[in-house]
Amino acid sequence: MDRSPFTALIGNLSEDEYLRNGGKGHGGDPCTPNLAGERVIVFDKSGKRKLAEGVAERTGERLPDSYGEVAGYCFSVTRIEGVPGGEGTYVTQVGGGNKTKSDEKDLRRTVQEHREAFKNMRLPDDDAPIEDIE
C-alpha cells in the first residue's frame, strides 16, 4: 500500500438554492455548492485524529441531463493536500457536520471518476436517515 502523502479529492453533489427555487439549469453552467467555503477535515479511521484539512470549493458545475435524477445538481470536488497514504479507511467531515467513512481508493479517484460516480445515482427518499459514524 502506498504510504506517501497524496491529495485527496472529495466529490460533492448539492441541490443548490437555484434548484430549490425551481430553476432547472443547464449542464456545464457554473454553480455555487451548498457547502462552499466550509472547512473539510480528513481524520484517521477512528475519526479522532485530524490528518489534513482544506476548504470546500466555492464553484461547481451543473450536471447535464445524462445524469438522470441528479441532472442540474451542482457538482464540485474539494482537494485536500497532504493526506498520509496507507490508512485504508479515513473519516471525512464537511462544515462540522456528520462524519462519514471513506475508503482510500475513493479519495484517490480523479475528478472525472468522481463525476461518473454520480451518473446513475438514485436520490434517497426525503425521510431516509443520514449515516453518521458517531
Query: For residue 89, which of 53, 43, 127 has the smallest C-alpha distance?
Result: 43
Amino acid, single-letter form, for residue 31: C
Grid cell locating 66: 445524462
Give residue 128's pLDDT: 44
Q: Global pTM? A: 0.83
Which residues does the chain have with pLDDT short of 70? 1, 17-18, 21, 23-25, 125-134
Alpha carbons 45 and 67: distance in angstroms, whole number: 32
Model confidence pLDDT, tens digit, residues 48-83: 999 999 999 999 999 988 888 888 889 999 999 999
Percent of the chain with pLDDT over 90: 60
